[in-house]
Structure 1
């Protein structure tokens, strides 16, 4: 639903709180006047932009996590978890750790009394000056954050039945928030006026290498170690056949979380292998890697695997370590509409990437996102005389992210 619809279902108490937040001047006893005044104020670009500009980084992360979720409604527990997950790697998040105690989550219940010192503290609390009482407490806990977003008119409860316990973001505000965020992020990056003198483009190669992998297994006996891993000889032979060469993982290198075989094989190779395994085309048994019946049928077709299918699989595979992967891909797509300095994209988006164990935010963005998007044929990486490394979305990548049909005749993949 849009904001106007949600306002019409909201009670007069919530409308009054929203109107107070935006300093609306209207009859507070008239629901219709409250709604009209709120809509008139919120729809003013400068007001909305000011609200966005005043948000802390963790608030931006929280809202960003809601914008790209396929679901339209969230429970209070889900929202609380998202607020807590949005506080990472920043001074604001560190400062708010103490506020996450039961006393600071706005639950309406008093904190348990301490066994010692309680009586001595009571007079101090009672003796606070009127000015101290009137001073608003900073809102830092998850429930306070959710309450603040409700006062902005960005979150609404359902109005009937079980839905009254769920929260939604107005659909029109979602789009406005995306547009505002795009302007904000675009202002932080540096674009190149000219084409780079060289760039790397892997469009369609990964789909072709699916066929190379299946054909290799079809024509060769591929032995596996007792741990179910191909021997180095087989891996090297396959890498020679592939359109993209990758170095083997180093001994003792930290690798887990990004797929079933990421610990054993190079990043791109691992994605190909996992894709074929989960499709049911290859099987590991008796220390041999073989094609299944469906794998033999797929190999006989000798067709290139559709890149959008590989993209969707990659999203699902990497969503565990990178929960907001869809939003990050979206912003890379928007910032990479033309050649942009990679370093500035990294600096702009790194604050929105949560570290995953020993994988730092910069590593995740560079290797797990930008690097893999290049392997999927969605992104070009070039070298520019003035700006150094630059990146740009391919027509194929922009089409996939937009969710459009790859059969569209207007798409020119090599432009």
Structure 2
């Protein structure tokens, strides 16, 4: 029999499983998305690159647009309902993607997928409203490993399924995974929520007025965006950079896949431990320390002479990055009330999606203009800016909180 004090633990593990399934579902199709676009009639090399980038990015763009609306609705209707809406909506869209007949249909459906998504931010909001504050760092760290685990295993399974059954059936398999996520959430997630009428719901101005430290929370949104942009800026050049480091390498695709996956493996190992550390010494200290350490890992990536050196540094970066977003989320939890959790986490997700779109674009531009190695120097400089900005905002907030009110 679950009591009021411990049912959040079951919810944590159930929504972790849901995040794992949605992470796997989204990444299942990534290995062969360009092949599917080619199957839909786009065969020119430059056009294929352009359409692949557009089809991939449009999901994050529309997710950023829709996130505030879903966050507002979750604060009125409950977070479990938003989890169910997201899982079911994405499952239906995946089925339709499997029936797409041309590139424009695929682009439109990927945009709708972004509009209907949001399982992970709503999972974060649900747990944030239930977990004891002193365990929030650990809980956010554990929850972060769910989507990471799914994203790691998804490409491997997707590639095997595509080779075995063809491209279109993988979308139907992905939809089945999302339907499973829907039913697991329906039957096993528990939420005690009293719906709020539209007239009683807080507007945007009232939401920010209710925050304990408004300026700090807003700065954390932008910190999330910069973190995501910095992590994503490297992705477009990894394979080409590895090829430059080892001219005679035969299994380039396999080596690139391993090095691309290494940060996720490191994050799985370190996220819960760093979450506990965040609870013990404070998330603001962990955030600043990890941002500082990341600079000393990113910069040498532009100086390596072999792919195994790059892989080792990527492992260290993944272990550090595992603490960044959970630390930001924990700081947000410390400074908001349960009544606005869905809205605030949706704003944070919107800025994260903006980082997902802008990071690869910046990385590609820097690589085209100054070479592959410059991407790592640029990313290190971006993280340095984030460190200075975060340190200033945290110090400013600490100083103002110590000033007695008149």
| TM-score, structure 1 as length reference | 0.23
When Rg is computed on C-alpha atoms for both structures, the one with the higher figure is 1
Q: Judging by fraction of residues, say which structure has more helix.
A: 2
Higher relative contact order (CA 8 A, sep 6+): 2
Structure with the larger strand share: 1
**TM-score normalised over the length of structure 2:** 0.23
